Structure 1
Amino acid sequence: MQIPAGTLLQAINSPDDLKKVPKENLHQVCDELRQYIIDVVSVHGGHFAASLGVVELSVALHYVYNTPYDQLVWDVGHQAYGHKILTGRRDSFNTNRKYGGLSGFPKRSESEYDAFGVGHSSTSISAALGMAMAAKYKGEDRKSVAIIGDGSMTAGMAFEAMNHAGVADTDMLIILNDNCMSIDPNVGALKEYLTDITTSQTYNRFRDDVWKLMGKLPVGKRFTRDMASKLEAGIKGMVTKRSNLFEALNLRYFGPIDGHNITKLVDTLSDLRNIPGPKLLHIVTVKGKGYALAEKDQTKWHAPGLFDKITGEIYKKKFDLPQPPKYQDVFGHTILELAEKNEKIMGITPAMPSGSSLNIMMKAMPHRAIDVGIAEQHAVTLSAGMATQGLKVFCNIYSSFMQRAFDQVVHDVAIQKLPVIFCLDRAGLVGEDGPTHHGAYDIAYFRPIPNMIISSPMNEQELRNLMYTAQLESTTFPIVIRYPRGEGVMPEWRKPMEEMQIGKGRKLRDGKDVAILSFGHPGNFAAAAIRDLRAYNLQPAHYDMRFAKPLDEELLHEALNRYGKIITVEDGTVLGGFGSAVAEFMALNGYKNDLKILGIPDRIVEHGTLKELHRECGYDAQAIADAVREMMKEVKVKVPAL
């Protein structure tokens, strides 16, 4: 269904069209753009509040800068819907995050206006600085702009980039979009600093005096290099209770200004575009601006799903029977249950308390469940430090974000044999968020690390049992517990927890000729395939291996001795993952069985629903059944009775 855009927006198919709009009409463009985002996302889904908060900024940037020659880098990309709509993708915006449609994030292969592919936070300043340095080297008068939120500023990479930008002598602008939010409310000293600098009457009064002295920026004269130099000196001379952090990094600081005043934004950006060198503009915005419910509850409306734009009712599927919970909620309730009995348990997450459901423990035990902000490296080493003091730390990180702290896992956890418990949410394919968020590689990158235990539950009860086992004093090595996004399979999941033997799987059923070895939740796909194969007189055996490291060698010897054909199934990359571990075991022990490895293929998997992606990657129930039939093609197939 094509949703109509407003009168002005309908005529904007590129930034060149936007530039034809008189400046006094830009507020109408912003109103229409905001309404269009509300209309489309309410019907088709997607991220919501972040893009509403930067409507004016999106319009102003494309109005002032010569995009795509001038390059915009949107940090993370949740907020880039307005940018996409203004750059020729309005009429295809209804395909956003759908299989074969637009990506939910900026993507270089999708548009020349997407200067850099993003999805993880805090990369924008580094990327934009690289572009600015390249432009200087090539002698190009190309402008580079990084748009970064205050939440993304908490990551060390952003500070590394600013530290370099301050001495690189390049023509780049950093726009700090300050709304006190990432997905959940921001935490940490930087948030307090930005609040202080935003609300300080002394700071803002003196800043206004300097701007008036220099020609009433942003509504007055254009700046010369000499005027810019004087402005820089004036701002550095401001008397505040604290020195300016950004000025200390040799970045010319401007702001804070109202990020929803389109006229002021256009005038400010026009002036800053002519000021050379590295600089930072601090704007203050409201996440969810223009939709009252999103302004009031920004976490809930970060990505609400489908909703009634008039009433604000978020549509939920209705079921006649009890449904399985999300794995993340099983984690959230179980860690609290364990923590109530074990005072050594602590919970750590880097900025994802609601996404991981650690917020359940944070509400009940705020002193024992900690959000460290977007800082995965810090989260891991903080957990390691706690572990040296005998605490049992559950470090909950999305699988895709865990990649950002690989060095800390090796250096600070594994080498020291510290029993940190890594709960990797969103392991495997994640659906509509696409390749930047797929948790495809954790099995492969954890498996070579000495002293690591790698586990994955097939259902909610196994997740609870693994968590229970991990916090026992007898578990003295770091352990990974990986589980997927979305629902499990057990509506009645609150069962007593039991200790699991590390490195031991279980045989679910005997069979004939073929054995399926599954790791984690895809074991349920295998079970469904086995049920379907009964109609063809095919009876595979099924082993739920539970651990990719250490492998259950006794169970593997049994399967390999009894079945000539082996199929492994996992929701991780086929290169270096669980199936590779089985192949290595076979080679080391001289087995010559036929082996087929099912999982995420060696290519970038795009976005779509989980069902669509499991089908495409060839490890859903149908694909597993097809693999069994292919391996047993010499067996005469019985046609099912109608």
Structure 2
Amino acid sequence: MSILDGLTSPAQIRDLSLSKVEELAAEIRDELVSTVAVTGGHLASNLGVVELTLALHRVFNTPRDRIVWDVGHQAYTHKLLTGRRERFCSLRQSDGLSGFPKREESEYDCFDVGHASTSISAALGLACARDILGGSEKVVAVIGDGSLTGGLAFEGLNQAGHLKKDLIVVLNDNEMSISSNVGAISSFLSRKMTSDLFVRFKKETQNLLTHLPGFGRELVNLARRAEDSLKGFLTPGMLFEAFGFDYVGPIDGHNLAELEETLQNVSRLKGPSLVHVITRKGKGYVPAEANPSLFHGVGPFDAETGEVHKKAAAAPSYTSIFGRTLVDMAEEDPRVIAITAAMIEGTGLQDFAKRFPERFYDVGIAEQHAVTFAAGLACHGQRPVVAIYSTFLQRAYDNVVHDVCLQNLPVTFAMDRGGLVGADGPTHHGVFDYSYLRHIPNLTFMVPRDEVQLRRALATAMAQDGPFAFRYPRGESQGLELPEKITPAPIGQGEKLREGKDGVFFAIGTMVGEALAAAQALAEEGVDMAVVDACFLKPLDRTLLMAEAQRTGFVVTCEENVLQGGFGSAVLELFEETAVDARVLRVGLPDAFVDQGTQQELRARHAINSEGIAERVRAALGRPPQSAAG
């Protein structure tokens, strides 16, 4: 039996010999590759932190000691060590293990995550609560170098350094390259400079020098400058020392002995400390080491070859169509600038970056900065397009309001992953953007139903002189032929796609296709429903929507967004304002966070697919369900 097979808690690995732990690390890597090959997930980053995770759980007494993971892209080994091995095959599946730490899943998960740069602030909160309650447990935040580009991480560092709480931050650096000599010297110095003997010697020497008559205090300051100069020469620690942290590192993140010795030493220090660990993405799996970007968030693949499974003759993704269209726009207009927040491939901007490097900006995981940066560009005559996942644009809400819309600046927000995204679950579903954007003055919001309309949305945005937003879903497009010439859409004009006398579907975005399919199914039962694509969430086509509502007297709104404050709410507000007398049935997502699963599973579960919409109409009209009718 393998070592991993018998593990049910981290306590079991604390008595293992170092050689046995290294065997366990190899077993874990095999498990990660074989599982993610089936389920998909974040592989490269997890392979890079196997030894670090083992060292953390061997040195610290979890779950009493708290480990807060940033984003959670690197927490798979943590899940395997904390009693979830039997369920690991359900990773990111419907009703299975989350791809991120989740408090309801395990006592070892002390903070839910999914977005970046939160770990230091959350860990500081845990440390302050510990001190209020008189506890003594250790609190450790594990943050990647990518997450450190987010401003929230520096806000946490600033406050932690000011409060001087006992807090350990582990910086998992998988991008920085250092030479072996510098790394070895720095690792040696860091481990020795945190040992009990050295810390006592430093404190006693400082105390002695301070009390010397005459030049004692000047000697202390000189010694401090000498130590800082040495650290600054060998390491990037000066930045963290300026925040009030004791800096340790860089440490080889794949050397268990070094990791454990360093963490043991740091655990005895008082005040905030930062341990800088160098790891390699994809460590131990050749395909992931060779292409860590591909295996950052990867779908199912062949574990032997690393070849990702692809559907035959798949239509291009909405993301790729957006990227190609933006390149076309930039060819014609030198003012077009693309901005993304650490999601070049995810937002389809890799070709733009190669074609127009001087007009492309990846600002890191800094959505707030991306939006205000775009506002500055727009102030000077440029036409910036901010390509960000819908769920991540939430982080820049204030900047959208105050820096873009208040000034009525021509910034375009291209929101990828609009609607339900699938296996990444509640932290990544883009189901709130209708509600958090449509009420902002000056903003135009278009929601294309297919790839042809997606290209048109971008052309429409470029033709406007104010803020413009549009969202599009994750996944394959419909495979439609794309006309070469793109004409802007008339602002606020919807489109009637199907006639009907018994009622009308007002649908938007992905729900237009579902509404058309529902109307076809109902027509076979004698229910004649019209279908209108609203096209714009803001402004609504008031003339068309009011006329159809008054003509039929029965309106069904369909949206892939939460119902509160969404498209259906906008229609109700319009009818209240204009005294339209019509029965309204709203179809959308409930007042709850939607769990993980495939997009198809989730749409069916929440009855926003064509079958669910048709059943809702049957119920509203007093007709028997289809199953009963059959």
| Alpha-carbon distance in 2 for matches of 1:230, 1:421 | 60
Q: What is aligned with 2:598?
A: 609
Query: Are positions 1:488 and 2:480 aligned together?
Result: no
Contact kept? 1:228, 1:275, Cα under 8 Å = no
Q: What is aligned with 1:280?
A: 274
Deviations along 1:516-541, one digit per CA (max 9) or x if unpaired, are 00111211111111222222112210
| Alpha-carbon distance in 2 for matches of 1:543, 1:227 | 75
| Alpha-carbon distance in 1 for matches of 2:563, 2:319 | 25
Contact kept? 2:191, 2:265, Cα under 8 Å = no
| Alpha-carbon distance in 2 for matches of 1:130, 1:230 | 34
**Which of 88, 100, 125 is residue 95 of structure 2 equivalent to?**
100
Q: What is aligned with 1:267?
A: 261
**Structure 2 SS opposite 1:355:** coil
The range that moved more, 480-489 or 526-535, is 526-535
Deviation at 1:588, TM superposition (A): 1.1
The one-letter code of the counterpart of 1:236 is D
**Which of 25, 47, 57 is residue 30 of structure 1 equivalent to?**
25
Deviations along 1:553-612, one digit per CA (max 9) or x if unpaired, are 011111111111111011111000111000111111112311111111101111000011
| Alpha-carbon distance in 1 for matches of 2:288, 2:119 | 25
Deviation at 1:23, TM superposition (A): 3.1
Contact kept? 1:535, 1:638, Cα under 8 Å = no
The one-letter code of the counterpart of 2:553 is G
| Alpha-carbon distance in 2 for matches of 1:304, 1:126 | 29
Contact kept? 1:514, 1:628, Cα under 8 Å = no
**Structure 2 SS opposite 1:88:** coil
**Which of 332, 346, 350 is residue 341 of structure 1 equivalent to?**
332
Q: What is aligned with 2:348?
A: 357
The one-letter code of the counterpart of 1:374 is I
Deviation at 1:514, TM superposition (A): 1.1
Q: What is aligned with 2:111?
A: 116
Contact kept? 1:456, 1:481, Cα under 8 Å = yes
| Alpha-carbon distance in 2 for matches of 1:114, 1:628 | 42
The one-letter code of the counterpart of 1:334 is T
| Alpha-carbon distance in 2 for matches of 1:115, 1:583 | 41
The one-letter code of the counterpart of 2:12 is D
| Alpha-carbon distance in 2 for matches of 1:376, 1:334 | 23
Deviation at 1:227, TM superposition (A): 5.4
The one-letter code of the counterpart of 2:68 is V
Q: What is aligned with 2:440?
A: 449
Query: Are positions 1:146 and 2:141 aligned together?
Result: yes
| Alpha-carbon distance in 2 for matches of 1:516, 1:454 | 20
**Structure 2 SS opposite 1:572:** strand
| Alpha-carbon distance in 2 for matches of 1:410, 1:236 | 43
Deviation at 1:229, TM superposition (A): 8.4
The range that moved more, 111-120 or 200-209, is 200-209
**Which of 210, 228, 233 is residue 236 of structure 1 equivalent to?**
228
**Structure 2 SS opposite 1:428:** coil
Q: Identity rate of aligned residues, in percent? A: 43
Deviations along 1:384-440, one digit per CA (max 9) or x if unpaired, are 111111111111010000000001001100000001000000011111000000111
Q: What is aligned with 1:374?
A: 365
**Which of 555, 559, 565 is residue 544 of structure 2 equivalent to?**
555
Q: What is aligned with 1:391?
A: 382
Task: Name the CA shift for 1:8/1:571 in 2 (closer, same or farther; >3 Å).
Answer: same
Task: Name the CA shift for 1:243/1:637 in 2 (closer, same or farther; >3 Å).
Answer: closer
| Alpha-carbon distance in 2 for matches of 1:499, 1:115 | 49
Deviation at 1:328, TM superposition (A): 0.6
Deviation at 1:230, TM superposition (A): 7.3
Residue segments in structure 2 that go unaligned for 5+ positions in a row: 207-222
| Alpha-carbon distance in 2 for matches of 1:205, 1:117 | 37
Q: What is aligned with 2:216?
A: none
Contact kept? 2:187, 2:250, Cα under 8 Å = no
Contact kept? 2:237, 2:248, Cα under 8 Å = no
Deviation at 1:10, TM superposition (A): 1.1
| Alpha-carbon distance in 2 for matches of 1:569, 1:527 | 11
The one-letter code of the counterpart of 1:316 is K
Contact kept? 1:225, 1:275, Cα under 8 Å = no
Deviations along 1:239-259, one digit per CA (max 9) or x if unpaired, are 645771001111000000100
Q: What is aligned with 1:410?
A: 401
Query: Are positions 1:314 and 2:308 aligned together?
Result: yes
Deviation at 1:236, TM superposition (A): 2.9
The one-letter code of the counterpart of 1:300 is L
Deviation at 1:228, TM superposition (A): 7.3
Contact kept? 1:530, 1:625, Cα under 8 Å = yes
TM-score, normalisation: structure 1? 0.91
The one-letter code of the counterpart of 1:441 is F
Task: Name the CA shift for 1:276/1:314 in 2 (closer, same or farther; >3 Å).
Answer: same
Task: Name the CA shift for 1:297/1:602 in 2 (closer, same or farther; >3 Å).
Answer: same
**Structure 2 SS opposite 1:41:** helix
Query: Are positions 1:509 and 2:493 aligned together?
Result: no
Deviations along 1:100-132, one digit per CA (max 9) or x if unpaired, are 111110001111100100000000000001101
Task: Name the CA shift for 1:620/1:636 in 2 (closer, same or farther; >3 Å).
Answer: closer
| Alpha-carbon distance in 2 for matches of 1:317, 1:599 | 29
Deviations along 1:484-511, one digit per CA (max 9) or x if unpaired, are 1112213423542112011111111110
Task: Name the CA shift for 1:19/1:425 in 2 (closer, same or farther; >3 Å).
Answer: same
Q: What is aligned with 1:584?
A: 573
| Alpha-carbon distance in 1 for matches of 2:364, 2:138 | 30
Query: Are positions 1:303 and 2:297 aligned together?
Result: yes
Q: What is aligned with 2:212?
A: none
Task: Name the CA shift for 1:308/1:68 in 2 (closer, same or farther; >3 Å).
Answer: same
Contact kept? 1:325, 1:491, Cα under 8 Å = no
The range that moved more, 416-425 or 363-372, is 363-372
Contact kept? 2:187, 2:252, Cα under 8 Å = no
Deviation at 1:44, TM superposition (A): 2.5
| Alpha-carbon distance in 1 for matches of 2:611, 2:566 | 22
Deviation at 1:202, TM superposition (A): 6.9
Task: Name the CA shift for 1:277/1:594 in 2 (closer, same or farther; >3 Å).
Answer: same
The one-letter code of the counterpart of 2:228 is K
Contact kept? 1:430, 1:439, Cα under 8 Å = yes
| Alpha-carbon distance in 1 for matches of 2:625, 2:448 | 35
Contact kept? 1:54, 1:79, Cα under 8 Å = yes
| Alpha-carbon distance in 2 for matches of 1:447, 1:44 | 36
The range that moved more, 521-530 or 422-431, is 521-530
Q: How many residues align?
A: 611
The one-letter code of the counterpart of 1:589 is T
Query: Are positions 1:459 and 2:450 aligned together?
Result: yes
The one-letter code of the counterpart of 1:313 is E
Deviations along 1:203-255, one digit per CA (max 9) or x if unpaired, are 9747745755x5xx67xx67766657879957435264577100111100000
| Alpha-carbon distance in 1 for matches of 2:24, 2:188 | 29
The one-letter code of the counterpart of 1:620 is N
Contact kept? 1:386, 1:393, Cα under 8 Å = yes
TM-score, normalisation: structure 2? 0.93
Q: What is aligned with 1:184?
A: none
**Which of 38, 58, 64 is residue 63 of structure 1 equivalent to?**
58
Task: Name the CA shift for 1:497/1:52 in 2 (closer, same or farther; >3 Å).
Answer: same
| Alpha-carbon distance in 2 for matches of 1:296, 1:388 | 42
Contact kept? 1:77, 1:105, Cα under 8 Å = yes
Residue segments in structure 1 that go unaligned for 5+ positions in a row: 1-5, 181-193
Query: Are positions 1:428 and 2:419 aligned together?
Result: yes
